[in-house]
Amino acid sequence: MSDSRRGLQLVGCLVLGLCLAVIYAAGFGAYHLWERQYNPQRAVNDSQKQMGAFWEAWRVLEQGYYGELPTEQERTYGAIREALVLLGDPYTIFVEPQPRELERDHMRGSFGGIGVDIWYDAKGQMVLSPYPDSPAAKAGILAGDVLLALDGEQLATETIDDVRAYLHGEQGTTVALTLMRPGPDGSPTPSFDLTITRGEIRVPSVTWRVIAHAPTVGYIHIQGFTDRTDEEVVGALNDLKGQGITSLILDLRDNFGGLISPAVGVASQFLSDGVVMIEQKRTAEESVYPVQAGGIATDIPMVVLVNGNTASAAEIVAGALQDHGRAPLIGERTYGKGSVQLIYDLSDGSSLHVTSAIWLTPNRTRIEGRGLMPDVLAPQADGPRDAQLDYAVEYLLK
């Protein structure tokens, strides 16, 4: 047999073997998919077998490790976090119960509590400052009071987040605070107790005013998007229009986002029709969020201030107003967070934030990892004055 014929036969055998391998792999893959769809118990058993190695490893550690082992909860939370690292997505995260409760309160824009801000002073003491007209203020807490104990338990390793979570609670319930009010020279004084009844604490996400040196220009700053932000913006617009403004600055700087629905509602106050955003899922399925009817500021001249900390829901609003030609963006390129996270609350009060989609501007511009480029670049200069705000006022007056 010639070498050429032997070569042809060898190639033929290789091709046949490869085809058989592909057919086998395809059949095995199809069978595996069929198993998952029509025999879910088999899929569960396979998953349990894979987790078997995890528990074997922990049994070895429990029997032979010299040091102190983490608790079962710490072990579970650690395993979840490390599994999420494999996704390579900084926005798919696990949140423990206490931070989740604080996050939930922030998104609601109101919560049951006593209404205090908390920080550490130079001595490492936990210092309080009451919100105006809050239960804490009405009970007699003053700015600078030092917190020593909660319900008779001295503070030891508790963090500020721990204390915030403890002070939050159902309206009408009470909490006892042990405080020390430093003397005029900062020296310690005898401690005293205050029992405070928790009430509803509203944290506004919107502030507004008329620009003092330009009384025809209104200014609205949105700190974040909560359940109540769109209602607060309507209130701000009505108040400013009542004061006779003829143009508006919408400040979205240092706004890291929040809830999508209020963001769509805010954008709709300034747009007559069209699309606010487009949501695109992994399957390429799309959802279009149209402008909601009834906007009360659809024709007032306006500009939008943005910077590198303008992100997520704030970029939704900025991108919609820019694409519709409704308002120029002034400032710096935005952060570039254009993904959507669904929040799944777990049985122990913790939660899983899962990236489920990305969003596009009305012109189908993808924001994730890119951000929005402002129409007018205006870096923030050092100094006591807000250079970007000054530029926005000048832009409107011209």
Is 312 a catalytic site residue? yes
Is 123 a catalytic site residue? no
State how far the alpha carbon of 321 is from the alpha carbons of 85, 88, 291, 365, 371, in Å: 35, 32, 11, 13, 15
Catalytic residue among 205, 323, 339, 350: 323
What number of H helices and E strands is found in the chain? 10, 19
Distance (Å, rounded) from C-alpha 144 to C-alpha 129? 6
Amino acid identity of residue 21, one-letter, is A
Distance (Å, rounded) from C-alpha 233 to C-alpha 207? 9
Whether 315 contacts 341, CB under 8 Å: no
Distance (Å, rounded) from C-alpha 111 to C-alpha 104? 9
Distance (Å, rounded) from C-alpha 258 to C-alpha 256? 7
Q: Which residue, 185, 183, 199, is CA-closest to 142?
A: 183
Distance (Å, rounded) from C-alpha 139 to C-alpha 195? 8
Catalytic residue among 312, 339, 350, 351: 312
Amino acid identity of residue 172, one-letter, is G
Whether 135 contacts 199, CB under 8 Å: yes
**DSSP string covering 159-181:** -HHHHHHHH---TT-EEEEEEE-
Helix or strand run (H / E) with residue 2: none
What's the burial of 361, exposed, middle or buried (CB within 10 Å: 0-12/13-18/19+)?
buried
Catalytic residue among 145, 205, 337, 351: 337
Q: Which residues lie below 8 Å from residue 372, measured CB to CB, with a gap of 6+?
A: 306, 310, 315, 318, 319, 322, 329, 333, 334, 361, 365
Take residue 275 and report the two structure tokens written for it: 């699309």
Half-sphere exposure in the Cβ direction for 344 (13 Å, CA): 9
Q: Which residue, 282, 337, 349, 350, is CA-closest to 308?
A: 337
Residues noted as catalytic: 312, 323, 337
